[in-house]
């Protein structure tokens, strides 16, 4: 099966459109959370995601906050401003869809999927080998797919040891999957690895491969809408630079 794995769309509709077009025909789509936050188009993003066939979608920390299940004070000032805006503009049906999403890890087609980390599904960032090493005991599948950091990355637990190797993913280079791995598809809507292109991955559960992907989109259009909505300038600047 050819599965689109994406995360952290963050209300960036043009980036989502670019990813869906670039990925082409897939058997399933797995979204690892954070449909909202930061960007200008929460309704368009949620409505597009709702229409995806064979979808498995998790809730991210921004999604939890926008439905009132996490204090906005948990977030920095700029992120809080965007979430307050999203609270105001999200339609009732889109709010209901977000409320329906699960927060706990799910095991599907040989993989565990989660937003943050297996041991802290909503909030922990797996940014380095130390944090990754603390999470391998918290999932039973051979590999786990995580989001949240906005960085395409691979963490490998070395056979017979407690050592974890960390590396950045190489776009369009298929990785043959082997036990045990934690993999991050990166962020659709707000990459933070100095590459502004929207990020995602293709998981082939038959061939057992993981292929990180990048696709360009019109971020200037999104910047204009961020500014028109009165959202923080920081959020407009960073999507052009990938930080």
pLDDT band at 47 (very low <50, low <70, confident <90, very high): very high
| Whole-structure pTM value | 0.97
H-helix or E-strand spanning residue 240: helix 233-241
Res. 160: pLDDT tops 90: no
Question: Domains in the chain: how many in total?
Answer: 1
Average confidence (pLDDT) over 161-166: 92
From its phi and psi, is residue 63 left (phi > 0), alpha (psi between -120 and 50) or beta? Answer: alpha
User: Per residue in 173-210, pLDDT tens?
Assistant: 999 999 999 999 999 999 999 999 999 999 999 999 99
pLDDT at 45 over 90: yes
In the sheet that holds 198-204, the strands lie side by side as 55-57, 28-31, 2-6, 198-204, 209-215, 175-176
Share of the chain above pLDDT 90, in %: 98
pLDDT confidence bin for 129, thresholds 50/70/90 = very high
CATH number at residue 225: 3.60.21.10
> What percentage of the chain has pLDDT greater than the value 70?
100
Which of 195, 239, 200 has its CA nearest to residue 218?
Answer: 239
What range does the domain containing 68 cover? 2-241
């Amino acid at each position: 099966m050819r599965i689109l794995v994406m995360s952290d769309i963050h209300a960036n509709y043009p980036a989502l459109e670019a990813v869906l077009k670039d990925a082409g025909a897939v058997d399933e789509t797995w979204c690892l959370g954070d449909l909202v936050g930061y960007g200008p188009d929460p309704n368009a993003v949620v409505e597009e995601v709702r229409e995806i066939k064979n979808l498995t979608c998790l809730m991210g920390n921004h999604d939890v906050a926008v439905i009132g299940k996490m204090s906005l004070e948990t977030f920095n000032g700029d992120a809080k401003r965007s979430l307050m805006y999203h609270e105001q503009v999200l339609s009732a049906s889109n709010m209901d869809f977000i409320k329906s999403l699960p927060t706990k890890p799910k095991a599907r087609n040989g993989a565990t999927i989660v937003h943050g980390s297996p041991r802290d599904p909503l909030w922990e960032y797996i940014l380095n080998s130390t944090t990754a090493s603390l999470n391998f005991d918290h999932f039973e599948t051979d590999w786990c797919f995580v989001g949240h950091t906005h960085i395409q990355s691979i963490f490998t637990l070395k056979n017979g040891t407690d050592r974890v190797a960390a590396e950045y993913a190489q776009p369009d280079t298929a990785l043959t999957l082997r036990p045990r791995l934690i993999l991050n598809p990166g962020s659709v809507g707000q990459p933070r690895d100095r590459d502004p292109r929207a990020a995602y991955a293709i998981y082939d559960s038959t061939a057992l491969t993981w292929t990180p992907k990048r696709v360009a989109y019109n971020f200037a259009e999104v910047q204009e809408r961020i500014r028109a909505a009165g959202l923080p300038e920081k959020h407009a600047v960073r999507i052009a630079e990938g930080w």
